[in-house]
A = this chain, B = another copy of it.
Amino acid sequence: MRPYAFGVDVGGTTVKMGIFHTSGDLLEKWEISTRTENGGEQILPDIAASVREMLKKRKISMEDVEGIGIGVPGAVRENSVVDRCVNLGWGVVPVRDILSSLLDGCRVMVGNDANVAALGEIWKGGGEGARSMVMVTLGTGIGGGIILDGKILNGAFGAAGEIGHICINEEEDAVCGCGKKGHLEQYASANGIAKTARKMLDETTEESSLKALEKVTSKDVFDAAKQQDKVAVRIVERVGQILGKALAAVACVVDPEVFVIGGGVSKAGPMVTDVIRKYFVKYAFHASEGARFELARLGNDAGIYGAVRMLM
Residues of A within 8 A of B (CB): 75, 131-132, 144, 146, 148, 153-163, 165-167, 170, 178-180, 245, 248-257, 283, 285-288, 290-291
Would A159 and B249 be within 8 Å (CB), given that A165-B285, A180-B286, A285-B165 are in contact? Answer: no
**B-chain residues with CB within 8 Å of residue A165 when the two chains form the complex:** 252, 285
Query: Is the pair A160, B283 in contact by a Cβ cutoff of 8 Å?
Result: no
Query: Is the pair B285, A255 in contact by a Cβ cutoff of 8 Å?
Result: no
Would A288 and B252 be within 8 Å (CB), given that A245-B167, A283-B167 are in contact? Answer: no
Query: Is the pair B159, A153 in contact by a Cβ cutoff of 8 Å?
Result: no
**B-chain residues with CB within 8 Å of residue A160 when the two chains form the complex:** 253-255
Q: Which of B75, B148, B166, B285 makes the CB contact (< 8 A) with A153?
A: B148
Give bound CA distance, A298 to B179, whole Å.
38
**B-chain residues with CB within 8 Å of residue A131 when the two chains form the complex:** 156
Query: Is the pair B286, A179 in contact by a Cβ cutoff of 8 Å?
Result: yes
Give bound CA distance, A72 to B161, whole Å.
30
Query: Is the pair A180, B132 in contact by a Cβ cutoff of 8 Å?
Result: no
A-B contacts, 8 listed (Cβ < 8 Å): A144-B252, A156-B257, A162-B255, A163-B253, A166-B249, A166-B252, A179-B286, A254-B254
Query: Is the pair A287, B166 in contact by a Cβ cutoff of 8 Å?
Result: no
